[in-house]
């Protein structure tokens, strides 16, 4: 049985999803605030505004049999998958206690202990690797599946189409997740794609089951994930998900980039009014009451303060171990 696309969601799951969105938002905001203190020197691509896509991972895909591969904008996926905050902050600060030993930085995360296999700076680079992981699972008859995260810019790379085609032919256990935030760096979809082209509709023509969802509605996203998970596991076929979303800050860096004028202020304000936290707070105000939200904020703040303070006093990797974390 494959679950229906819409189903009743319990108050517990609603609270868990909200907590993860809030947690990722506060963590990314802290990174943004502290970046200028020169403790973090690697480039950072923050997911503020896009957190609802990563939040359900902690509920549906936390088990290590579900393996995640991501792009340069990977903090949220790592945290959603169960990644350790202290290890993430340490990695961004270049400390030996980081998930990649302090040698990968923000864009090259790996933590096999939680099933987060890699993130990479090269656009679309993780997509064929994810298919390779899924093929390995199929050959070895292992349980679970693979999730590949990427942005809308990745669909303009030839390897994307080759991988989708290969996955369909081989019936690989993989979920492809496109986070369509409308921009590839500073270029809007309108100057990169034919007018009115729908990504999921185009990809569907390759022969893969494709679904579209409002990437700001976390409950709808959870439902799509649950459907996709069961579709892949029951049908033994790949699936493609497109989530419509929007990033608030600059493409690369901790600041706003309104001064560059490539995004109209009216557009930014429009999307911020659809903030995923606001959507949940309004719709589920009886579940997400002030007392619960205050408790969540306190708990997350304590985790953030502990992790950042510990990372700051951690040691840098020794030059004698410079090759240790290069290969998985």
Please give the DSSP secondary-structure letter assigned to residue 73.
Answer: S
For residue 258, give every residue at least 6 positions away whose Cβ sits within 8 Å of its Cβ, in sequence order, or none: 265, 268
Reading the block at residue 221, the tokens are 């996203």
Percent of all residues in the chain with a pLDDT value above 90, rounded to a whole number? 82
List, for residues 12-60, the tens digit of each pLDDT value.
999 999 999 999 999 999 999 998 787 788 999 999 999 999 999 999 9
Q: Is 174 helix (H, G, I), strand (E, B) or coil?
A: strand
Residue 327 has pLDDT above 70, yes or no: no
Locate the DSSP E strands across the chain: 66-70, 116-119, 145-151, 174-180, 183-184, 187-188, 209-214, 239-244
Residue 325 has pLDDT above 80, yes or no: no
Distance of CA 321 to the CA centre of its chain: 30
Residue 151 has pLDDT above 70, yes or no: yes
pLDDT of residue 23: 98
Residue-range domains of the chain with CATH? 11-310 (3.40.50.970)
For residue 312, give every residue at least 6 positions away whose Cβ sits within 8 Å of its Cβ, in sequence order, or none: 39, 93
| Helix residue ranges per DSSP H, 175-252 | 199-204, 218-235
Residue 203 has pLDDT above 80, yes or no: yes
For tokens 């990174």, the residue is 31
The total of other beta-carbon atoms located within 10 Å of residue 265's CB is 9
List, for residues 130-139, the tens digit of each pLDDT value.
999 999 999 9
The answer to whether 222 and 298 have CB atoms below 8 angstroms apart is no
Q: What is the pLDDT of the chain when averaged over all its residues? A: 93
Q: What is the dihedral of CA 258, 264, 268, 269, to 10 degrees?
A: 110
Reading the block at residue 132, the tokens are 């390779």
């Amino acid at each position: 049985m494959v679950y229906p696309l819409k189903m009743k969601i319990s108050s517990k799951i609603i609270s868990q999803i909200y907590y993860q969105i809030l947690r990722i938002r506060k963590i990314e905001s802290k990174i943004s605030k502290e970046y200028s203190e020169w403790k973090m020197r690697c480039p950072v691509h923050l997911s503020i505004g896009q957190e609802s896509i990563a939040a359900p991972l902690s509920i549906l895909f936390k088990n290590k049999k579900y393996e995640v591969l991501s792009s340069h904008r990977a903090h949220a996926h790592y945290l959603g998958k169960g990644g350790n905050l202290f290890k993430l902050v340490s990695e961004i600060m270049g400390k030996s206690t980081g998930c990649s030993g302090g040698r990968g930085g923000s864009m090259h995360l790996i933590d096999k202990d939680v099933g987060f296999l890699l993130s990479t700076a090269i656009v679309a680079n993780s997509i064929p690797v994810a298919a390779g992981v899924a093929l390995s699972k199929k050959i070895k008859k292992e349980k679970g599946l693979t999730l590949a995260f990427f942005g809308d810019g990745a669909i303009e790379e030839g390897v994307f189409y080759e991988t989708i085609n290969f996955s369909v032919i081989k019936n690989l256990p993989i979920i492809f997740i496109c986070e369509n935030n409308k921009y590839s760096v500073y270029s809007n979809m309108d100057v990169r794609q034919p007018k009115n082209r729908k990504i999921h509709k185009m990809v569907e023509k390759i022969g893969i089951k494709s679904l579209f969802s409002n990437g700001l509605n976390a409950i709808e996203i959870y439902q799509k994930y649950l459907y996709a998970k069961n579709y892949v596991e029951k049908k033994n076929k790949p699936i493609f998900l497109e989530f419509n979303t929007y990033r608030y800050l600059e493409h690369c860096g901790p600041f706003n980039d309104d001064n560059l004028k490539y995004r109209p202020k009216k557009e930014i304000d429009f999307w911020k009014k659809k903030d995923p936290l606001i959507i949940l707070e309004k719709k589920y105000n009886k579940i997400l009451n002030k007392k619960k939200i205050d408790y969540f904020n306190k708990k997350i703040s304590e985790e953030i303060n502990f992790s950042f303070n510990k990372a700051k006093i951690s040691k840098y990797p020794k030059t004698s171990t410079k090759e240790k974390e290069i290969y998985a």
